[in-house]
Amino acid sequence: MVPGNHTQNSEFFLQGLSEEPELQSLIFGLFLSMYLITVLGNLLIILAVSSDSCLHTPMYFFLSNLSFADICFTTTTILKMLVNIQTQSKAITYEGCISQMYFYIHFAVLDDFLLAVMAYDRFVAICHPLHYTVIMNPQLSGLLVLVSWIISALNSLLESLMILRLSFCTNLEIPHFFCEIQQVVRLACCDTFLNDTLIYFTGVLLAGGPLAGILYSYSKIVFSIHGIASAQGKYKAFSTCASHLLVVSLYYCTGIGVSLSSSATHSSRSYATASVMYTVVTPMLNPFIYSLRNKDIKRALKRVVLMAVIKREIVLSLKKCP
């Protein structure tokens, strides 16, 4: 690590999605609304799960952890972009860039691991229904969440510490709307072989590992559902994992789609545009997929809204009293 190498250039510049001045307010409005919908939707999921004791099961705890990770992920990536558009500045400090990198990698990997944990949960629920409460006890589900946190924290710590050893020269324009690690490494004017290798290996390991777990769990689930004789039983078993399957496909399809489109176009700008899919659209759709398909979540959400209305009525009626 060479401290002092980066002191003369303590800022990076985020180019954002477009340079066109007339597009800025459109982009701002669009991203602000998507950001608010994401935060509100995921917050409602967390509220619904924590307020309804029927939803105090591992599956819904994992879901609310996923919602929490989604809120943090979009906040780290989108908020700085919104602030920059509003203040008409492109600058982000060196420290800001490194911390943004740390947090977005942390929550992206956490998302990935939580999806795998949820797949394992569905596997136990469908393939070992009688032992579900014994296997998926609070200790194990807490441990799974904890391990996911530790792995993603260590990984993002390693990746962002490795950025500190790079020195940057003159071109500090990042062709993206947040400090995407690959784009930052590309700007370094020293040997980046170690960083590229690390990004590649951790990428393959941390995306491939959970994906292998998810595929394994679902192959067992499909096999198990296939063995159920009645059509009604088949449907019932399938419907408990349909939302999760939809979310997993959304995450991986957008991720793979973005990687493919970036290798096909070689243009950093279109890569940035494509990554809007997994940074904003996927976390935004997540709560909708769960709440629209799931009776329990719908019921809990209705209760949360009802409680809010009742509280407001009580507060208003109290105010009216002399």
Ligand X SMILES: *[C@@H]1O[C@H](CO)[C@@H](O)[C@H](O)[C@H]1NC(C)=O
Residue 68 as a binder of ligand X (CB under 6 A): the answer is yes
Q: CA-CA distance, 286 to 291, in Å (whole number)?
A: 9
Among 283, 209, 210, 297, which Cα is nearest to 247's? 283
**Residue 58 beta carbon to ligand X: minimum distance, rounded to whole angstroms:** 6
Nearer to ligand X, 29 or 142 (CB): 142
Tell which one of 12, 31, 35, 61 touches ligand X (CB under 6 A): 61
Name residue 33's amino acid.
Answer: S
Q: Are 112 and 247 in contact (CB under 8 A)?
A: no
To ligand X, the closest distance from the beta carbon of 60 in angstroms equals: 8
State the minimum distance, in angstroms, from the CB of residue 72 to ligand X: 11
In the complex with ligand X, the residue whose CB is nearer, 64 or 100, is 64
**Residue 120 contacts ligand X per CB under 6 A:** no
Q: For ligand X, which is the closer residue by CB, 114 or 237?
A: 114
Q: Taking the complex as a whole, how short is the minimal distance between the CB of residue 252 and ligand X, in angstroms? A: 22
Confirm or reject binding of residue 152 to ligand X (CB under 6 A). no
53 contacts: CB under 8 Å, gap ≥ 6: none
Size of the site for ligand X (CB under 6 A): 9
Q: Could you tell me the smallest distance in angstroms from the CB atom of residue 209 to ligand X?
A: 20
If binding is defined by CB under 6 A, does position 142 make contact with ligand X? yes
User: Could you give phi then psi for residue 128, rounded to 5 degrees?
Assistant: -130, 60
Surface-to-core class of residue 163, CB atoms within 10 Å of its CB (0-12 exposed, 13-18 middle, 19+ buried): buried
139-147, 224-232, 294-302, 309-317 -> range binding ligand X (CB under 6 A): 139-147
Where do the H-state alpha helices sit in the chain? 21-51, 58-87, 94-127, 132-135, 138-164, 181-187, 193-226, 231-265, 268-276, 282-293, 295-320
Told to check if 64 binds ligand X by CB under 6 A, we report yes
CB of residue 310 vs ligand X: minimum separation in angstroms? 24
Residues 37-56 that bind ligand X (CB under 6 A): 46
Give the shortest CB-145-to-ligand X separation in angstroms. Answer: 4
Judge residue 164's burial from the number of C-beta atoms within 10 Å of its C-beta, 0-12 exposed, 13-18 middle, 19 or more buried.
Answer: middle
Interface map 4-43 toward ligand X (x if CB under 6 A): ----------------------------------------
Q: Does 286 bind ligand X (CB under 6 A)?
A: no
Question: In which residue are the tokens 């919602």 written?
Answer: 67
Looking up tokens 């962002």 gives: 160
Member of 141, 217, 275, 282 binding ligand X (CB under 6 A): 141
Q: Does 208 bind ligand X (CB under 6 A)?
A: no
DSSP 49: H
The phi and psi torsions of 281 (rounded to 5 degrees) equal: -70, -45
DSSP, res 52: -
Kindly tell me which of 6 and 106 has the beta carbon lying closer to ligand X: 106
Q: How many CB atoms lie under 10 A from the CB of residue 80?
A: 18
User: For residues 61 and 73, which CB has a smaller minimum distance to ligand X in the complex?
Assistant: 61
Residues interacting with ligand X, by CB under 6 A? 46, 58, 61, 64-65, 68, 141-142, 145
